[in-house]
Amino acid sequence: MNSSLVSIIIPAYNAQKYIKETIESALNQTHKNIEVIVVDDGSTDNTKQVLEPYIKRNKIRYSYQENQGQSAGRNNGFNLSKGDFILFLDHDDILLLGAVEESLKFLKENSQYGLVYFDFCYFFNDDLSKKYHHCLGENYSGLIFDKLIKYGPCCNPSQALIKRKVSEKFRFNSQFDSSEDWDYWLSIARQGIKFGFLDKVLVYRRIAENSDSASVSGRIKCKNSSMRVYQKWLSNLSKEEIKKFSLLARMEKLKIKKILLFLMKYNTRQEIMKVISDSHLSIWWSKLMGLILKIKLSILPIKLVKNFMLFFDQKRNKYNFQLVK
């Protein structure tokens, strides 16, 4: 397994600022039998020019596609790949030197797993001097479909090394403009494939100023995509499973979270009231929460409510992101 070919697939869109750093982290792996495939998703900046030196020296395989989204980029990259193992790396993330080697070693020693995912740290924009560990709670190994459907994705694609015999059976769903990784992991786990967790930080994930996770609008977009994932799996699960996983209640919680995000975005009472009405809350406790919000909005200044939500959100982020010393 130590001599196995590993395909590192990088979907890239307008990635000129960060992709060189990402590619260098892939090429400098201690495991040397790798191929790096970059799928340019119709970039309109100088991504291709940045990649030219690597293309000319045959350091990477480059493929261009009309803009179809990150999922299509990953899927097309996989179709070009030859590796026994696959790692999908986002174009602004940074692999640590031993990421591939340690992941391969883990899978060799734990052959029951179809993939391994590892820990990560966040950093913001260009500042690698400060790295943050995201307190996501417990990590799971083994058969984890029930955990994924209840609690969301176990990892980002940049955090996982997947056996080819697993990844060749699945594709990222290009209908989701976000949360496509969650749907991908659910599809794999649904087939009884076991996930392994390697308790080591092996990738640094960048939060750039223009990323979805850095803005309220981007987070609303993610919540909308998560709802579409829930709706897809709602139709794929039995009534018993829907009840077992409390799926309807989880969808209601997602609606409430989206409403609270809109409270930080909109500036008028009418806009927020419309969001609450359009959410179609359907369980008694969520209807009650919606009613309480409407009452508070009718008596309190909208600016006060918005500032409170922004303050609460900042406190939540401070708790969730712990500086690594």
Q: What is the pLDDT of residue 45?
A: 96
SS (H, E, C) 25-89: HHHCCCCCCEEEEEEEECCCCCHHHHHHHHHHCCCCEEEEECCCCHHHHHHHHHHHCCCCEEEEC
Enter the pTM of the model.
0.93
* Tens digit of pLDDT at every position of the chain (325 positions): 668 999 999 999 999 999 999 999 999 999 999 999 999 999 999 999 999 999 999 999 999 999 999 999 999 999 999 999 999 999 999 999 999 999 999 999 999 999 999 999 988 888 888 888 876 567 899 999 999 999 999 999 999 999 999 999 999 999 988 899 999 999 999 999 999 999 999 999 998 877 766 688 889 999 999 999 999 999 999 999 999 999 999 999 999 999 999 988 888 889 999 999 999 999 999 999 999 989 988 998 888 888 888 887 776 666 566 777 6
d(CA 10, CA 74): 7
| Token pair listed for 90 | 């986002």
| Token pair listed for 91 | 């174009």
DSSP string, 253-312: HHHHHHHHHHHHH--SHHHHHHHHHHT---SHHHHHHHHHHHHHHHHS-HHHHHHHHHHH
CB atoms within 10 A of CB 213: 12
Q: What is the pLDDT of residue 317?
A: 66
Of 142, 189, 156, 194, the residue nearest 170 (C-alpha):
189
Place of tokens 């890239």: 12
CB-based contact 110:196 (threshold 8 Å): yes
Of 262, 285, 264, the residue nearest 275 (C-alpha):
262
Q: What is the pLDDT of residue 125?
A: 85
The domains found in the chain, sorted by start residue, are 6-212 (3.90.550.10), 238-323 (no CATH)
DSSP 17: T
β-pairing, 195-207 vs 115-124, is parallel
The count of C-alpha atoms lying within 13 angstroms of the C-alpha of 211, restricted to the half-sphere facing its C-beta, is 17
Element housing 188 (H / E):
helix 180-190
CB-based contact 131:324 (threshold 8 Å): yes
d(CA 275, CA 31): 51
CA distances for 188 relative to 148, 183, 240, 252, 318, angstroms:
11, 9, 21, 25, 33
| Token pair listed for 285 | 């406790």
Q: What is the pLDDT of residue 92?
A: 95
Return the exposure string of 125-147: e unless at least 16 CB atoms fall within 10 Å of the residue's CB, then b.
Answer: eeeeeebbeeeeeebbbeebbeb
| Token pair listed for 128 | 């690698």
Contacts of 4 (CB under 8 A, 6+ apart): 33, 83, 84, 85, 104
CB-based contact 160:148 (threshold 8 Å): no
d(CA 87, CA 5): 11
